[in-house]
């Protein structure tokens, strides 16, 4: 009887494990996709274009979750970022001409290298608001274009 009970318990454990492996998790349901960004008005073909895709809570911060860096190409530079879930984001980019991995600024805080945002908003003294730069990504694929500005 004891052996029979052990076999039944073992079969139940295997069945339960099979059910748990088949059931999708919340993370597995979250689709991620590829976003293609074309940055225009790149004034030199040296250095790198740094791109960050940020949700509103991380807008204008250094820790945006989706990033890429590609060699700068004069005129237009294409950046492709994979693994982005559906949501509302802002894209922010800068041209790191001297490859020091930071946006160089004057003593007054004005960028010395090209900067740009999705939605291509106009701004002068301060950066744009998230709402001016926001776009919706479907979690599958998408494409946006904006230009760098120099001050």
Q: How confident is the model at residue 82 (pLDDT cuts 50, 70, 90)?
A: very high
Question: In whole angstroms, what is the distance from residue 151 CA to residue 146 CA?
Answer: 16
Reply yes or no on whether the pLDDT at 128 is more than 80. yes
Percentage of the residues of the chain whose pLDDT score is greater than 90 = 72
Q: Phi and psi at residue 82, in whole multiples of 5°?
A: -100, 160
Question: In whole angstroms, what is the distance from residue 20 CA to residue 23 CA?
Answer: 5
Select the more confidently predicted residue: 6 or 109.
Answer: 109
Structural domains of the chain, with CATH: 28-147 (2.60.40.10)
Whether 37 contacts 93, CB under 8 Å: yes
pLDDT of residue 126: 84
From the list 70, 78, 79, the residue with the least C-alpha distance to 46 is 70
**18 secondary structure, DSSP code:** H
Facing residues of 18 across strands? none
pLDDT of residue 13: 39
Measured in whole angstroms, the distance separating CA 125 from the mean position of its chain's CA atoms is: 26
Question: In whole angstroms, what is the distance from residue 117 CA to residue 131 CA?
Answer: 11
pTM of the shown model: 0.78
Whether 60 contacts 92, CB under 8 Å: yes
For residues 114-134, average pLDDT: 92
pLDDT digits (tens, 9 = 90+) for 10-64: 433 333 333 333 334 344 457 899 999 999 999 999 999 999 999 999 999 989 9
Whether 38 contacts 8, CB under 8 Å: no
């Amino acid at each position: 009887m004891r052996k029979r009970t052990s076999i039944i318990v073992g079969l139940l454990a295997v069945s339960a494990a099979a059910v748990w492996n088949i059931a999708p998790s919340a993370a597995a349901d979250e689709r991620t996709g590829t976003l293609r960004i074309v940055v225009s008005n790149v004034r030199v073909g040296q250095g790198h274009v740094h791109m960050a895709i940020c949700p509103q809570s991380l807008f204008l911060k250094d820790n945006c979750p989706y990033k890429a860096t590609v060699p700068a190409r004069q005129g237009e530079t294409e950046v492709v970022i994979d693994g982005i879930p559906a949501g509302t984001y802002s894209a922010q980019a800068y041209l790191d001409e001297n490859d020091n991995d930071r946006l160089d600024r004057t003593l007054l805080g004005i960028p010395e290298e090209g900067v740009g945002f999705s939605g291509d908003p106009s701004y002068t003294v301060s950066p744009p608001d998230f709402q001016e730069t926001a776009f919706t990504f479907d979690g599958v694929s998408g494409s946006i274009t904006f230009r760098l500005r120099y001050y």
